[in-house]
Amino acid sequence: MIVLGIESSCDETSAAVVKDGRVLLSNVVNSQVDIHAEYGGVVPEVAARSHIEVINPVIRQALREANVTWDDIDAIAVAYAPGLIGSLLVGVLATRTLAELHNKPLYPVHHVEGHIYANFITDSTNPELKLPSKQPTFPMLALAVSGLHSQLMIFEDHGNYRLLGDTLDDAVGEAFDKVARMLGLPYPGGPSITTAALTGNPKAYSLPKAKLSNPYEFSFSGLKTAVLRAIQREVGVDHTFPSHKLAERLNDVQRADFAASFQYTAVKTLVDATVKAVEEFQPASVVIAGGVAANSELRRQLSERLPLPIEYAPISLCTDNGAMIAALGYYHAQVIEPTPVDNVTVRPSLSMLDTVWNKA
Ligand code: KG4
Ligand code: ZN
């Protein structure tokens, strides 16, 4: 079964073609990072306009690179939740039109579920792409970490999962982005913190880990404030000093040390919870998903501490992409009916726990 997947929930416009939920035939991603970088973050109206401009060419290119025509496409999947309303609307309306025009079954899927299914892609027509050697097996523990999510979940099977813990405040990717801004590092914060941290000392500043009663819940807002206070101390100003003026007072060594210390603590928080969940629930496999899953320190600490082997999706399938949406669409098609085109709407704040697929 060949599925076309379409993703436009935030600032990447992407279309991809995946066979049987496993074989990647194409994955075209148009990133708006350069457009939003000058504002220091995503501007929703600008994002929606950019999606409109590129979505049709991106879809055409995905079909062309996969070497398929509309006749070969068996179904279409689209990310309908969660995300920016204007961004989601562009992908959903484009997909509805194409499903109607070409008479294809349509599966609206949840973006975070999609991130997790990037781990099920194990083959590609592109030999350069380094993919996991096999698909994850159930029960599967999933750590979903992005700009909006920090969640640990147990999947008993496809479409049957439960939440172990969520963040109580900021998502971990959001903390990377905010700390990067404090340090004067460019948007998006995750990759720029990782780069700055390369030359930094992760033990230079001791930062506290939030202590919560549920070991699978997270809180990253306190860590962000602890970094702010440590920078203020380091440059010799009090807490009333404007935070946007702190970065210019840091030298490169201090900046690298703050990046490394923050990254180490944020990642250790995620890894402590994941290792504890493995001990308690004894899953057959562990996967990480979402933009922060691209983080090399997260991969290093996890591989070192997990008692079972773990494989990682390539970076291009961790950040937002259509391939994960197409892979997930295939598994939806195995257990649920397609949604009538007119019933497919956007759900900007739908929780993953409330999708129709879960416990279908
Ligand atoms: O999944 P994603 O591309 O979009 C959302 O669904 O939110 O995740 C974006 C988040 C951003 O906060 C970005 O800073 C973070 O992922 N990110 C990273 C890395 N690459 C992207 N965080 C840490 N290390 C990275 N290498
Ligand atoms: Zn995402």
Phi, psi of 196 (to 5 degrees): -65, -35
pLDDT of residue 289: 98
Query: How many Å lie between the centroid of ligand 2 and the Cα of residue 151?
Result: 13
3-state secondary structure of 102: helix
- For residues 222-228, give the mean pLDDT: 96
Query: Which of the four pLDDT bands, split at 50, 70 and 90, describes residue 109?
Result: very high
Strands (DSSP E) found in the chain: 2-7, 12-19, 23-31, 75-81, 106-110, 123-124, 140-145, 150-157, 160-165, 285-289
Rounded-to-integer distance, Cα 131 and Cα 56, Å? 28
The answer, yes or no, to whether residue 308 has pLDDT greater than 80, is yes
The answer, yes or no, to whether residue 43 has pLDDT greater than 80, is yes
Residue nearest atom 10 in ligand 1 by C-alpha distance? 147
Tens digits of per-residue pLDDT, 172-205? 999 999 999 999 999 999 999 999 999 999 999 9
- Which residues have C-beta atoms less than 6 Å from ligand 1? 10, 146-148, 173-174, 176-177, 188-191, 194, 290-292, 294-295, 319-320
Mutate to test the pocket of ligand 1, among 149, 264, 292 (most ligand atoms within 8 A of CB): 292
3-state secondary structure of 28: strand
* β-pair type (2-7, 12-19): antiparallel
β-pair partners for 288:
143
Counting residues of the chain whose pLDDT is more than 70, the rounded percentage is: 100
Query: Which of the four pLDDT bands, split at 50, 70 and 90, describes residue 16?
Result: very high
In sequence order, which residues have a C-beta less than 8 Å from that of residue 220 and are 6 or more positions away?
150, 167, 169, 170, 171, 172, 174, 175, 210, 266, 269
Tens digits of per-residue pLDDT, 128-144? 999 999 999 999 999 99
pLDDT of residue 356: 86
- Going by the DSSP 8-state scheme, the letter that residue 218 receives in this structure is B
In sequence order, which residues have a C-beta less than 8 Å from that of residue 204 and are 6 or more positions away?
257, 258, 260, 261
Nearest alpha carbon to residue 170 among 262, 287, 274, 299: 262
Residue nearest atom 2 in ligand 1 by C-alpha distance? 291
Query: Which of the four pLDDT bands, split at 50, 70 and 90, describes residue 360?
Result: confident
The answer, yes or no, to whether residue 359 has pLDDT greater than 80, is no
pLDDT of residue 45: 95
Mutate to test the pocket of ligand 1, among 7, 111, 146, 174 (most ligand atoms within 8 A of CB): 146
Rg of the Cα atoms in the chain: 20
- For residues 13-36, give the mean pLDDT: 97
Edge-to-edge strand list for the sheet holding 75-81:
106-110, 75-81, 2-7, 12-19, 23-31, 123-124
Query: How many Å lie between the centroid of ligand 2 and the Cα of residue 314?
Result: 14
CB 154 within 8 A of CB 164: yes
Structure tokens at 149: 């999510």
Greatest CA span in the chain, whole angstroms?
66
Ligand 1 atom nearest to CA at 146? 8
Per the prediction, the chain carries an average pLDDT of 97
Rounded-to-integer distance, Cα 275 and Cα 301, Å? 10
CB 347 within 8 A of CB 80: yes
Query: Which of the four pLDDT bands, split at 50, 70 and 90, describes residue 40?
Result: confident
Rounded-to-integer distance, Cα 350 and Cα 269, Å? 26
**Cα dihedral 188→132→312→165 (10° resolution):** 110
Mutate to test the pocket of ligand 1, among 110, 115, 319, 320 (most ligand atoms within 8 A of CB): 319
Structure tokens at 355: 């999708």
Counting residues of the chain whose pLDDT is more than 90, the rounded percentage is: 96
Residue nearest atom 8 in ligand 1 by C-alpha distance? 291
Tens digits of per-residue pLDDT, 317-348? 999 999 999 999 999 999 999 999 999 999 99
Ligand nearest to the CA of 145: 1
Ligand 1 atom nearest to CA at 188? 14
Query: How many Å lie between the centroid of ligand 1 and the Cα of residue 70?
Result: 32
- For residues 40-66, give the mean pLDDT: 96
- For residues 61-81, give the mean pLDDT: 98
* Ligand 2 ion: nearby residues, β-carbon < 5 Å: 146, 320
- For residues 51-79, give the mean pLDDT: 98
pLDDT of residue 159: 94
